[in-house]
Amino acid sequence: MALSLIVGIWSARYLGPSNYGLLNYVSAYTAFFTSLCTLGITSSVLVNEFTQRPDEEGTTLGTTIGLRLISSVLSAIMIVSIVYIVDDGDPLLLWIAIFSSAGLIFNVFDVIEFWFLKRYMSKVTAIASFVGYCVTSAYRIFLLITGKSVVFFAVATSVDYLVIAAVLFAVYKKNNGQKLRFSLARGKEILSVSYHFILSGMMVAIYGQTDKIMLKFMMSETDVGYYSTAASLSTMWTFVLSAIVSSLSPAIVRFKKEGNEAAYRKKNRQLYGIVFYLSMAVSAVITLLAPVIIRVLYKEAYLGAVGPLRVITWYVAFSYLGVARDIWLVCEKKQKYSKYIYIIAAAANVAMNGLLIPKWGATGAAAASLITQVMTSVLLPLLWKDMRGNVKLILQGIMLIDCFKSSSDEIK
């Protein structure tokens, strides 16, 4: 992570706010279609499938990879087409789009990590990510030393995904993983569970990525560079939160399957409390030290990122409460509410960006993202009776109610 951080900062300095903004502008399209080509098949969905059908893991994995491969190829074609049309065939942006979108195809194999997750073998995915970081960092260092253009930097993500896929698949076979098979019937079953997350994922991408696109057209690519720098800094440590959520996910699913409701609720509260307070502590430090962090890491050219950084860092806590909530949604079979929540949130985010970007630029985009995430995680779920139980668990987790002491109703 340290190597990746150093090389990432070095790359941003080398490219400058303008070129760095162009790279992230195109990446916004890629990120949007990532939510589409994953087909809503999240870790929660697959871990649940593996738990329910342990003898058919090869079919589950093979079917998921096949479905995602088809959707990824189609998504890559759509990205290139959109950039060509919207940006009047700009050759530079078109090449960036081609190389960036190729990463979607290699990323289909990341579902194998959920197989390791089910077996409490998270270290395998950590090793794969580490190898990917090292190879990608070496590639970027080569580009920096040889002075290559921004187009070559667009290839980096594809290199990362390709290496991680190769490592995961090799270790999967070494651990006697079942032969991968594609089943249309199983595909329909998986999509019947995950389709709720497809639309919700797209809506998340809208309020997570349209800010960059709107900044590009309403302000400039330089503002996109400032905003992207702030967003990257605020989330550079969130691999810790992802690891926490992934580590607790199997236990939560198991408690639900066993009918241990007290332990199930308690584990959810613990997860929400840990995610919230860890995020708040880190965000407080980042807010206080934002000018120093930007000046030391990115130099004077990126001081325009201080304002957005001080705002968007608080987004992380509420964002990962939403990530943690996905486990509850799958266990309770209430995935359908995700799409309603995110449709409203996406519309609100676009409207707020339209109001705040002209006034405050990149800082306005950051404020719009923060407000939207608070709405998504805590406020909007209150509109539905079936979702209020989760809001209660989140608030109990934040207030540390029955998080670490054995509750009287816990099943022994």
pLDDT of residue 412: 39
Q: At how many degrees (to 10) do helices 239-258 and 43-52 cross?
A: 30
Percent above pLDDT 70 for the chain: 95
* Mean pLDDT to the nearest integer, 326-355: 88
Query: How many Å apart are CA 150 and CA 16, to the nearest integer?
Result: 10
- pLDDT at site 411: 39
Whole-angstrom distance, CA of residue 315 vs CA of residue 312? 5
Mean pLDDT, all residues of the chain: 86
360's tokens: 């405050």
Q: How confident is the model at residue 408 (pLDDT cuts 50, 70, 90)?
A: very low
pLDDT score of 48 more than 60: yes
Average pLDDT over residues 386-405: 86
Q: pLDDT value at position 166? A: 86
DSSP state string for 265-285: HHHHHHHHHHHHHHHHHHHHH
What average pLDDT score do residues 34-55 get?
A: 76
Comparing 37 with 240, the larger pLDDT belongs to 240
pLDDT in tens, 81-103: 999 998 888 899 999 999 999 98
Euclidean distance between CA atoms 201 and 67, whole angstroms: 16
Q: What angle do CA 401, 405, 409 make, to 5 degrees?
A: 85
Please give the pLDDT value at position 318. 93
Q: Do 393 and 265 form a contact (C-beta atoms < 8 A)?
A: yes
CA distance 128 to 167: 6
316 against 176, higher pLDDT? 316
> Which range among 118-122, 153-157, 370-374 has the greatest average pLDDT?
370-374
Residue at token pair 């002491």: 405
What average pLDDT score do residues 50-58 get? 77
**Residue 206, pLDDT above cutoff 80:** no
Q: Do the beta carbons of residue 9 and residue 297 sit within 8 Å?
A: yes
pLDDT exceeds cutoff 50 at 294: yes
Stated as kind and residue range, the H or E segment containing 166 is helix 156-174
Per-residue pLDDT tens over the stretch 6-41:
888 889 999 999 999 999 999 888 888 887 888 877
Residue 136 has pLDDT above 90, yes or no: no
